[in-house]
Amino acid sequence: MKTIIEPFRIKSVEPLRRTTPAEREKYLKDAGYNLFELHSSDILIDLLTDSGTSAMSTAQWAAMMRGDESYAGSESFFRLKKVAEELTGFRHVIPTHQGRAAERILFTVMCREGDVVPSNTHFDTTRANIEFRGSRAVDLPSPEAADTQSRHRFKGNMDVDALEKLIEREGAAKIPLVMLTVTDNSGGGQPVSLENIRAVHKVASRHNIPFYLDACRFAENAYFIHQQEPGLDRLTPKQIAQAMFSYADGCTFSAKKDAFANIGGLLCTNDDRLAQQERNLLILTEGFPTYGGLAGRDLEAIAVGLEEVLDPDYLEYRIASTRYLGRHIADHGVPIVEPPGGHAIYIDAGRMLPHIPRHEFPAQALAVELYRHAGVRGVEIGSVMFGEHARHELLRLAIPRRVYTQSHIDYLVEAILEVAENKEKLRGLRIVSQPEFLRHFTARFEPL
Ligand SMILES: Cc1ncc(COP(=O)(O)O)c(C=O)c1O
């Protein structure tokens, strides 16, 4: 059979609420045209994020019942540690309440003022945590990533020559770690090849610089490698994931993505001294090292999710369903970041709405219009989120794992194509208030 189906059936459902265009107009106005300010009950299809929004499996819910809520020495922690160790090979597995907590602890311990941390593309919380520490976050994407329309297979790769030059220019002593985000969320959900991971590892280790993975979507990245990197289809996604981790000295991980958990994160390393410092900080802000800001039941859900996510049937469906959305809009003229990534489709709003200049936020304007028209929420990944660091003006439509069905995606395709038909009528926005960090969460806008 050629049809790739959802490899699960649905046991528990959550109703969706329809709203009228007039209601949505009011909600938008009240929210200051910032979709983070909407009530979720006013949204029909929520593609704000794939983070923490997964549908958990029966096995995960069952495991949660055996959650050991002991303050210290929880059996749930040891079950999670065993799974994470087997997958990543890292000796120290430190649970945190989510990915950014792992980032904050890592950068607090490793970075000093004036340091530089390169990545293929830093995610917004990663960049903000580095900058909050007084260090500089530098993006070194591969040259292919500059053109949203190029169909290079591994557009998440880091520019290794640029990394060499940066180390030469800044000096290795100023670079406490090199990171690679797999897949490259802010760069379009594009995968990083195993060859690139190996190359970055080689450069970093030649200069004695620790190399970290931001491993939020390690399984989707592993599946792309399995499908597309020459000679690697003979390895299972799990073997590929293990190979990816084998080149790194540590990782940060948000369990809200490729562990199907609704909350949680991990900070892993092989460095005993570093792990001790990290645990000291963990106790201060997250909790004892065998729960790190999570309930025992959350640790159980993550342990089961980390194994489930590497099921080849699931990954085949996951990548195919994201591609289905991408192809159905792109082949009808809506420019997306090509080729479709793993967890999301990114509409290139800068290209789609050339009449709206960057400083009038074309991707935010498109996000607002898609909600107004069809009750669908996406998120701007452009000048609102990244300010002057934005490389593109993108509207990200992130697909929650195991949540929406084919007909939801067909509705979405119809909605996007209808909005595209009237794209000349769309107008930009003006920011009326914004905070200093992570301004996309609370900035307020006014239509122009
Ligand atoms: C690449 C990447 N890194 C880090 C994070 C932060 O993880 P969390 O939301 O669990 O704090 C995210 C979240 O979306 C992400 O996509």
Burial class (CB in 10 A: 0-12, 13-18, 19+), 425: exposed
* H or E segment to which residue 213 belongs: strand 211-214
List CB contacts of 15: < 8 A, sequence separation 6 or more: none
Tens of pLDDT, residue by residue over 90-109, are 999 999 999 999 999 999 99
* H or E segment to which residue 393 belongs: none
* Nearest Cα residue to atom 8 of ligand 1: 99
What pLDDT score was predicted for residue 7? 96
- What is the percent of the chain with per-residue pLDDT over 70, rounded to a whole number? 99
What pLDDT score was predicted for residue 442? 84
- CA 125 – ligand 1 centroid, Å: 7
Output the average pLDDT for the chain: 96
Closest CA to 215 of 170, 189, 239, 180: 180
Tens of pLDDT, residue by residue over 46-105, are 999 999 999 999 999 999 999 999 999 999 999 999 999 999 999 999 999 999 999 999
Place of tokens 């009530």: 39
pTM over 0.85: yes
Pairing relationship of beta strands 376-377 and 136-139 according to DSSP bridges: unpaired
Which residues are bridge partners to 118 per DSSP?
A: 138
**What's the CA gap between 215 and 253, in Å, rounded?**
5
| Pocket, ligand 1, Cβ cutoff 6 A | 51, 98-100, 123, 125-126, 181, 185, 214, 216, 254, 256, 265
Tens of pLDDT, residue by residue over 415-429, are 999 999 999 999 999
Strand stretches in 270-367, DSSP E:
344-348
List CB contacts of 214: < 8 A, sequence separation 6 or more: 99, 103, 119, 123, 126, 179, 180, 181, 182, 251, 252, 253
- The DSSP code sequence of 78-138 is HHHHHHHHHHH--SEEEEESSHHHHHHHHHHHH--TT-EEEESS--HHHHHHHHHTT-EEE
Side chain identity at residue 39, one-letter code: H
Burial class (CB in 10 A: 0-12, 13-18, 19+), 205: middle
What pLDDT score was predicted for residue 383? 93
Q: Quick count: other Cβ atoms within 10 Å of Cβ 31?
A: 18
Side chain identity at residue 374, one-letter code: A
- CA 117 – ligand 1 centroid, Å: 17
410 touches 341 (CB < 8 A): no
More confident residue, 239 or 188: 239
What pLDDT score was predicted for residue 437? 67
Closest CA to 82 of 304, 311, 245, 309: 304
And the tokens for 25? Answer: 């107009």
- CA 186 – ligand 1 centroid, Å: 10
Atom of ligand 1 nearest to the CA of 49: 14
And the tokens for 379? Answer: 């998120």
Which residues are bridge partners to 251 per DSSP?
A: 213, 268
DSSP 141: B
Order of strands across the sheet with 211-214?
Answer: 92-96, 265-269, 250-254, 211-214, 178-181
- Which of 249-253, 326-330, 380-384 is predicted with the least confidence, judged by mean pLDDT? 380-384
User: To test the ligand 1 pocket, which listed residue (214, 254, 381) has its Cβ within 8 A of the most ligand atoms?
Assistant: 254
Which residues are bridge partners to 117 per DSSP?
A: 137
Kindly state the average pLDDT of the residues 426-436.
89
Kindly state the average pLDDT of the residues 252-271.
98
CA distances from 80 to 14, 74, 86, 132, 387 (A): 29, 10, 10, 31, 38
Tens of pLDDT, residue by residue over 178-226, are 999 999 988 889 999 999 999 999 999 999 999 999 999 999 999 999 9
List CB contacts of 407: < 8 A, sequence separation 6 or more: none
Which residues are bridge partners to 93 per DSSP?
A: 268
Atom of ligand 1 nearest to the CA of 265: 10
Place of tokens 């489930």: 308
DSSP 190: B
175 touches 168 (CB < 8 A): no
